[in-house]
């Protein structure tokens, strides 16, 4: 039976392939007594041996694809599977209590896990995590349930998941993962942002895709319209193949603009920059004609690993980006951890409202060594290009002053030691908290630039969690409340002779671009894959007309009225 699910179009394009479920398996079981303990022990040993061969294959593949560090994780799992201190008590339990292997395994493993976890020792805590992982694998074999091994995928698939963390997303193999779709998340959740930078079509927030899809079902991810087709008819597949070809043709048209400047019909130049997460994304920036990097989300350097990156590692990454961009502007945002971006190794307590919690600049001003290390790495890399430094989640002037003072201190220390640091490094802030937008005139006297982070600015202004698909209708970039804040920020910057950019997803949005051009935004920073479409759109607009449009929409009542006004103005432009 074919069916269609509606979700949120998170990353453009169309993908057609078989489903691959990346979900937690059901490993529940009952305690049972067994007649023949010897047979039960043999069943357990068979599960151990299958788990071992599976882990060996995963380890060998990880070694080739992901490097020794990641392969080491599986090596540690293999050691657990050969440890008599764990295995003997399980077998003894089966024999003496005549219980099923599942029960003996879980009871014994849980006992070790809680013992190791209660120790004040990082090494033992990691062993607890290894035992937990390995137990799942052996249980899955005892129960005959499949667990997902994404690194072992060897054919084209569409990944089906409840949610994908940014580090899950970063590990997807672009060669085989043609698209993904999730139950939860919104257009600005970080998995969606990553999908755009990886150019993988995605539909998020379907609410129920994991309930509706089995492994191997044929899936179409329509990232243009936010639809997921499950087991579509051959006619629908053909129709989508044609749609895919049309989209590719359109992209080929846009690609002709790769080396063109971004100028409106009446000659207004704006800068179209890219948002990146890692130095690897630079290729996409170049292929899509990015005129700079408007947002380098450095937190991805800290994620998907077990400890903080060293100053040297950071320096290498920042230098690579600065050199790669050849003197074009590169705005590096300092660590913005928190919200949906966790660093488990910092062992921070769970919070009720992580998006309103201890995160980004709040954490950096408190854990200063983390912050200072990053700033030193940035300062040392600064002579290699056109670096601008930006602080995230600034909510009041005091935070900006403190952060800037720490930067100045580190700069002075480096210079005193004879380290070469660029003379002029602009220092700006993200405007993503309403208090800062409202006070933009005051900030503008002290910062060198603003970059408006609408993903958060909209979430905080509308009080609507950007991860929660049930309130995603409140992600209203054209709501006059948002547009008025955006105008305040741009005007405040210009009154002080500073520049204003935008690095939230709104900067590349087709409805928003005409308004932002009219409001005088200087720099638009977006997923690299949106740049050429935005350039083509701006080539067709008169800034003077868009100024009038901006004045008009600021006086409208609702998001929908603004959409209509823009569509009308653009069709006459």
Nearest distance from C-beta of residue 394 to ligand PEP, angstroms: 12
Q: Considering the rule CB under 6 A, would residue 461 count as an interface residue with ligand PEP?
A: no
Q: Considering the rule CB under 6 A, would residue 297 count as an interface residue with ligand PEP?
A: yes
Beta pairing partners, 14 = 222
Per-residue binder mask for ligand PEP (CB under 6 A), 160-199, x = binder? ----------------------------x-----------
Query: Which one, of 463, 466, 428, 451, lies nearest residue 516 by Cα?
Result: 451
Residue 80, classed as helix, strand or coil, is helix
Kindly list the distances between the CA atom of residue 413 and the CA atoms of 66, 372, 386, 406, 416, in Å, as whole numbers in the listed order: 37, 11, 21, 11, 5
| CA 452/CA 444 separation, integer angstroms | 13
State both tokens at 478.
């054209």
Measured in whole angstroms, the distance separating CA 20 from the mean position of its chain's CA atoms is 20
Q: Considering the rule CB under 6 A, would residue 70 count as an interface residue with ligand PEP?
A: no
| CA 360/CA 354 separation, integer angstroms | 11
Residues in 318-337 that interact with ligand PEP by CB under 6 A: 336
Q: Binding Mg ion by CB under 5 A: which of 179, 428, 453, 480?
A: 453
Residues in 323-342 that interact with Mg ion by CB under 5 A: none
Residues in 454-493 that interact with Mg ion by CB under 5 A: 456
492, 519 contact by CB (below 8 A):
no
Instruction: Give, as one character, the DSSP assignment of residue 227.
Output: E
279 is in the binding site of which of Mg ion, ligand PEP, none (Cβ under 5 to 8 A by kind)? none
**H helices, E strands: number in the chain:** 22, 16
Nearest distance from C-beta of residue 439 to ligand PEP, angstroms: 18
Q: Considering the rule CB under 6 A, would residue 469 count as an interface residue with ligand PEP?
A: no
503 is catalytic: yes
Residue number with the shortest CB distance to Mg ion?
Answer: 456
> How many chain residues bind Mg ion (CB under 5 A)?
3
Residue 130 or 432 with smaller CB distance to ligand PEP: 432
Residue 205 or 453 with smaller CB distance to Mg ion: 453
For the chain, give the number of residues: 573
Q: Binding ligand PEP by CB under 6 A: which of 456, 509, 522, 545?
A: 456
Nearest distance from C-beta of residue 452 to ligand PEP, angstroms: 7
**How many C-beta atoms surround the C-beta of residue 33 within 10 A?**
10
> How many chain residues bind ligand PEP (CB under 6 A)?
11
Query: Which one, of 178, 180, 156, 186, lies nearest residue 168 by Cα?
Result: 180
| CA angle in degrees (0–180, nearest 5) for 315-313-409 | 45
The percent of the chain in helix, strand and coil, each rounded to the nearest 5, is 55, 15, 30
Which helix H or strand E contains 58, and what residues bound it?
Answer: helix 37-65
Nearest distance from C-beta of residue 326 to Mg ion, angstroms: 27
Nearest distance from C-beta of residue 466 to ligand PEP, angstroms: 8
Beta pairing partners, 275 = 295, 527
Nearest distance from C-beta of residue 487 to ligand PEP, angstroms: 17
465 is in the binding site of which of ligand PEP, Mg ion, none (Cβ under 5 to 8 A by kind)? none
Q: State the distance between the two ends of the chain, measured CA to CA, in whole angstroms.
A: 46
Residue 12 or 436 with smaller CB distance to Mg ion: 436
Residues in 494-533 that interact with ligand PEP by CB under 6 A: 503-504
Q: Considering the rule CB under 6 A, would residue 453 count as an interface residue with ligand PEP?
A: yes
Residue corresponding to tokens 């995230």:
392
Per-residue binder mask for Mg ion (CB under 5 A), 411-450, x = binder? ---------------------x------------------
494 is catalytic: no
SS (H, E, C) 135-163: HHHHHHHHHCCCCCCHHHCCCCEEEEECC
Residue 410 or 432 with smaller CB distance to Mg ion: 432
Q: Which of 141, 190, 229, 244 is catalytic?
A: 190
Residue 40 or 456 with smaller CB distance to ligand PEP: 456
191 is in the binding site of which of ligand PEP, Mg ion, none (Cβ under 5 to 8 A by kind)? none
Residue 498, classed as helix, strand or coil, is coil
| CA 49/CA 367 separation, integer angstroms | 45
Q: Which residues bind Mg ion (CB under 5 A)?
A: 432, 453, 456
Residues labelled catalytic: 190, 503
Q: Which residues bind ligand PEP (CB under 6 A)?
A: 188, 295, 297, 336, 432, 453-456, 503-504
């Amino acid at each position: 039976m074919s069916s269609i699910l509606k979700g949120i179009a998170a990353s453009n394009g169309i993908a057609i392939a078989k489903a691959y479920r990346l979900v937690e398996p059901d490993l529940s079981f009952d305690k049972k007594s067994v007649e023949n303990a010897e047979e039960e022990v043999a069943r357990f040993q068979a599960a151990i041996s299958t788990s071992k061969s599976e882990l060996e294959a995963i380890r060998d593949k990880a070694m080739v694809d992901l490097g020794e560090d990641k392969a080491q994780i599986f090596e540690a799992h293999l050691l657990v599977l050969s440890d008599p201190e764990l295995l003997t008590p399980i077998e003894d339990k089966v024999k003496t209590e005549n219980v099923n292997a599942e029960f003996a395994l879980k009871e014994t493993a849980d006992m070790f896990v809680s013992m190791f976890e209660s120790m004040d020792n990082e090494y033992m805590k990691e062993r607890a995590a290894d035992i937990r992982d390995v137990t799942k694998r052996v249980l899955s074999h005892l129960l005959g349930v499949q667990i997902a091994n994404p690194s072992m995928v060897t054919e084209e698939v569409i990944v089906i998941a409840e949610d994908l963390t940014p580090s899950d997303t970063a590990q997807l193999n672009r060669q085989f993962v043609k698209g993904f779709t999730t139950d939860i998340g919104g257009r600005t959740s970080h998995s969606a942002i990553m999908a755009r930078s990886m150019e993988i079509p995605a539909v998020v927030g379907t609410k129920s895709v994991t309930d509706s899809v089995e492994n191997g079902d044929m899936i179409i991810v329509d990232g243009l319209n936010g639809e997921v087709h499950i087991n579509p008819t051959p006619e629908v597949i053909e129709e989508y193949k044609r749609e895919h070809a049309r989209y590719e043709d359109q992209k080929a048209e846009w690609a002709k603009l790769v080396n063109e400047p971004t100028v409106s019909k009446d000659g207004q130049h704006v800068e179209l920059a890219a948002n990146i997460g890692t130095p690897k994304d630079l290729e996409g920036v170049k292929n899509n004609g990015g005129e700079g990097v408007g947002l380098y989300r450095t937190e991805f350097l800290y994620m998907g690993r077990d400890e903080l990156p060293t100053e040297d590692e950071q320096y290498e990454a920042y230098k690579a980006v600065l050199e790669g961009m050849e003197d074009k502007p590169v705005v590096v945002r300092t660590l913005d951890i928190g919200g949906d971006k966790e660093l488990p190794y910092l062992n921070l307590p769970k919070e009720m409202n992580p998006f309103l919690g201890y995160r980004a600049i709040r954490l950096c001003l408190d854990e200063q060594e983390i912050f200072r290390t990053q700033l030193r790495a940035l300062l040392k890399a600064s002579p290699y290009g056109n670096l601008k430094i930006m602080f995230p989640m600034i909510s009041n002037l005091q935070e900006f002053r403190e952060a800037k003072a720490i930067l100045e201190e580190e700069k002075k220390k480096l210079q005193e030691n004879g380290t070469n640091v660029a003379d002029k490094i602009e220092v700006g802030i993200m405007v993503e908290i309403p208090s800062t937008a409202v006070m933009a005139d005051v900030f503008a006297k002290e910062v060198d630039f603003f970059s408006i982070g609408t993903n958060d600015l909209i979430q905080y202004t509308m009080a609507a969690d950007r991860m929660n698909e049930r309130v995603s209708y409140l992600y209203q970039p054209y709501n006059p409340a948002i547009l008025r804040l955006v105008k305040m920020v741009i005007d405040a910057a210009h009154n002080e002779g500073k520049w204003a950019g935008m690095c939230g997803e709104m900067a590349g949005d087709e409805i928003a671009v005409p308004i932002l051009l009219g409001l005088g935004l200087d720099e638009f920073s977006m997923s690299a894959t949106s740049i050429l479409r935005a350039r083509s759109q701006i080539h067709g607009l008169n800034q003077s007309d868009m100024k009038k449009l901006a004045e008009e929409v600021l006086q409208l009542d609702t998001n929908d009225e603004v959409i209509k006004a823009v569509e009308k103005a653009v069709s006459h432009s």
